[in-house]
Amino acid sequence: MQTRVQQHDYVRHTGGGDEAAPTFDAIQASVGKRLDDVAKILAGALVTVAGVMTALGLTSDLVFVALNNESWPIYVASLCAILAIVCSIVALLIHPTKRGNVWETVVLVVGVILYMVALSVAVVGAAKAAGGNGRPTISNVTLEGPRSSLKLSFGVRADGVETSASVGVYVAAVDADGNPLNGPNLYESSLRPDDKGRVVQNVSMPISPARDVRGLEIVAINAGGSDECEARAVHGAACTTVRLP
């Protein structure tokens, strides 16, 4: 009498005991679950990118400044983060079959690439917006004393200046129409940034202007930038004119 051996869906291990082998559908479901976990992580791409920007000092005020200046890193980082979230949502909706897992893997790879691009560009955008592009500013301008013995004081500041660059500052005498008069500048200075790319200088100097001098023009120029006060340029000059009494 022959005994029919019933086949079971299991594998025998050398250590003894029988364990049921996972079926093909169970394997695909397990792979799909791991892919879904990755998709859920990518779903937080926008929050993570925003967190990186905030950690690097990109506040809401600087974001509005960057958008107003049409800073491309901000747009690219936001777009890549949104696309990464879209890829994660699409991956979550794919059924965990053999072909579905292949497509889910492809979608997640694209999402990871977009996610890394978003982070990288976010760092560039944060540094560009928070750094100020090395543009100098002139502040705290005061003119004290009688015309025969004036004292001019002002401050110059610039952030994000390249370590190999400098900020030039000079004071020139101008006529009633604001045109520079012939002769050397009353003050000249070339300022190098510190290790953090910052330039800070406070100037206080005596002035003994000639009779034809009607004002003083203070100009701060970033290296390689335009020296025109009204120029529409990223590295434009900062200019201030003080009328003499």
- Give tens-digit pLDDT for 4-28: 444 444 444 444 445 555 666 666 6
- Report the SS3 class of residue 219: strand
* Alpha-carbon gap, residue 232 to 226, rounded angstroms: 9
List beta partners, residue 222: 167
pLDDT (0 to 100) of residue 7: 44
Q: What is the mean pLDDT of residues 214-233?
A: 78
168 Cα distance to chain centroid: 25
Looking at residue 218, what is its pLDDT? 92
What is the per-residue pLDDT across 114-149, written as a single tens digit (0 to 9) for each? 888 877 777 776 666 555 567 788 999 999 988 888
Check residue 21 and give its pLDDT: 58
Question: What is the reported pLDDT for 126?
Answer: 63
Query: 9: which DSSP letter?
Result: S
* Euclidean distance between CA atoms 77 and 81, whole angstroms: 6
Whole-Å CA distances, 62 to 49, 53, 139? 15, 10, 20
Q: Given this model, what pLDDT does residue 204 score?
A: 92
- pLDDT for 234: 64
pTM > 0.75: no
- Higher-pLDDT residue of 35 and 200 is 200
Report residue 105 as tokens: 């893997």
pLDDT tens-digit map of 67-95: 555 567 777 877 887 888 788 777 777 77
d(CA 219, CA 197): 20
pLDDT for the residue numbered 2:
44
Report the distance separating Cα 102 and Cα 28, nearest Å: 10
- For residues 10-21, one letter each, b for 16 or more C-beta atoms within 10 angstroms of the residue's C-beta and e for the rest, the string is eeeeeeeeeeee
Closest CA relative to residue 199, chosen from 149, 133, 122, 145: 133
Q: From CA 222, how far away is CA 220, in angstroms rounded? A: 7
Q: What is the pLDDT of residues 172-201, one digit of tens each?
A: 998 888 788 888 888 999 888 888 778 899
Q: With contact defined as beta carbons under 8 Å apart, do 222 and 134 qualify? A: yes
Burial class (CB in 10 A: 0-12, 13-18, 19+), 90: middle
User: Which pLDDT score, from 0 to 100, does residue 142 have?
Assistant: 92
Highest-confidence segment of 36-45, 129-138, 214-223: 214-223
Average pLDDT, the chain: 75
